[in-house]
Structure 1
Amino acid sequence: MRVTAPDAVPEAPGRLSAFLAAGHHAGMDWMAARAGERADPSVLWPEVRSIVMLGLNYGPDLDPRAALGDRTGGVISVYARGDDYHDVVKKKLKSLGRWLGEASGVALKVFVDTAPVMEKPLAAAAGLGWQGRHTNLVSREFGSWLFLGSIFSAADLPPDPPESDHCGSCRACLDICPTAAFPAPYRLDAGRCISYLTIEHKGVVPAEFRAPIGNRIYGCDDCLAVCPWNKFASVAREQALSARQALKAPRLADLARLDDAAFRALFRKSPIKRVGRDRFVRNVLIAIGNSGDAALAEEAARLVGDASPLVRGMAVWALARLDPARLSHEAAHARESDDTVLAEWRAAGIVVNTTPAIVLTTQPVIPYR
């Protein structure tokens, strides 16, 4: 826990403006919509006089990159393998906030990721760490594995000194990125980032990024995991943040069979629940298409007829990579009217029937009166 002032990062507005102007926020329009509040904490809450920044360790017990070699399993970002960090961190912040409120007698507000707060530069200003070349916070004690939360207080609290940059000449985090999402050190183009593409992006994943995604089905830890400062990190002791065994090495075949109810049950306490079943299965199908495992073609074939266009499109792409002959067979009785799915069929060199199917109903017919 460290303290900083609301105006401790005077360069933040300019950096945010350049980020937005370059379009590096991709489809995250909410960043631009509340840019004024994001750039200046006093705009978000005029009463703020001090900001208490909290860092919570979520260090993994193993290097998450090890699972990238098992192409029949999916890789889920470390932060999402335990309970939803929003709930875990907010609970701790509220407890700390009650103590601060009683001690200071002034108003305060608690924020965890969902509010327009530039947590990483504020955490650096407070001395929790520094923003590395991958734009994430790096700590000499916890490496790149810290959740962040903030308490805005109306009390004038003494600020802690900021942390200096200790990246030196290292560029490991930049060089390891599978999609070249860093146009320059300390700059991220979110539209190319696998974490954005598998979590925030709502539509079809652009074709150029599908193969580099590999079997990453939710987020990407490569730039975090390669950081040399992780050698000082410790495994998270918070039980709620410990990885569930089922999410350490989930089988793609099992995940492809999730319907909405099963998805909600599996990820009930996880941040993954926020993306919904269709976007998640979209990601699973990309991993299936990259697996090189012909046995998984059956899962892709079954999902060619899924109710979701997002799922159908990725099923066509995956099946085209694993078993083109099977895809041609599926085309014989496929009917499709969604433009994005039709584009996937065309990319596979196949023309399908665009005439809507006749749907028979068993509902009683009520005569017009």
Structure 2
Amino acid sequence: MALFPPKNPVPTPTPVPMPAVTKPSTLPPEDINRAKQLGTCIRARFAQTLVGQDNLRESLITTLVAGGHILIESVPGLAKTTAAQTLATSVSGSFKRVQCTPDLMPSDLVGTQVFDFATQKFSTQIGPIHANFVLLDEINRSNAKTQSAMLEAMAEGATTIGGQCIALPKPFMVIATQNPIEEEGTFNLPEAQMDRFMVKAVMTYPTAQEEQRMLTMLTHRGSDTFDSRTLTGDVVSISDVEFLRAAARRVHVSDAIMKYAVDITATSRGAGTKPVQGLSTLVRLGASPRASIALTRIGQANALMQGRDYVIPEDVKAFTHEVLRHRILLTFEALADGVTSDQVVDSIVQAVPVP
């Protein structure tokens, strides 16, 4: 008897063939023209309700096409809510507005189960988050537990009520607003949760000419608030939004553009092909890989809205600040010196070579 019996021969694994890499199909000209017409239709609705704020309008439209969520930050009175309502009423979908307060509970947002004495059974009542467009006004005024419920629904695309998983309608988009002032009674969003938003838009004060045009619009309208039923122009259907999102995913992204997006994100973490000198003294945590995904998706959506079936570097650069500003955490020294995340993003964009 052999002291060491021979082992069973190890079978040679059969090589698995690699899937063939297929080049993404290009969009036909009629699809590109249709996408441009839909974008023009939405912009025409904005022209009837909003004066100026072109950057915010484009951020809203592009985020809608890219299939993400947006966080809008500004001081009170700059038409954050009006812009969100305009985008929602431009599409023939359901719209819900939630005014966030410290006593808002997750069940008030997601829904709950109510006992029916007639049937002796529990019935599910869904909350306002089950809509195509959800405006979370002053999201930083809701408590941390409610914020987690909001962002869980954004990430999962579904809610759980009484052990039952209920899918959110498609398309689904969250437009959240917050004020950078009035810190008393607010619960700031943690950085990890802010990362769930594809874009963070910051609104600035209008110029004197734009403010005068706003007053002219209000006097002609006769009301400080707009009624969506009085707006003229076509309304985009839900199927049109699904078409825009599907078409944006088919926009070609070259390897050079992907490398450019990754290089921008890596540079914010202190790496990249050309690291920024002294960035470690300003940034304690850079952007996550979600930023690279967001830059690519936003670039595809912007290219489609510009009438192209391929992404160019300018499509990525145009939204670099919106994608990175809430994903870069500054050091205490940088905050003490008054350095802003937008200034850090400026240095990153200047350092990264454009393909």
Bucket of the pairwise TM-score, normalised by the shorter protein: under 0.3
TM-score w.r.t. structure 1 length?
Answer: 0.23
- When normalised by structure 2's length, the TM-score is 0.23
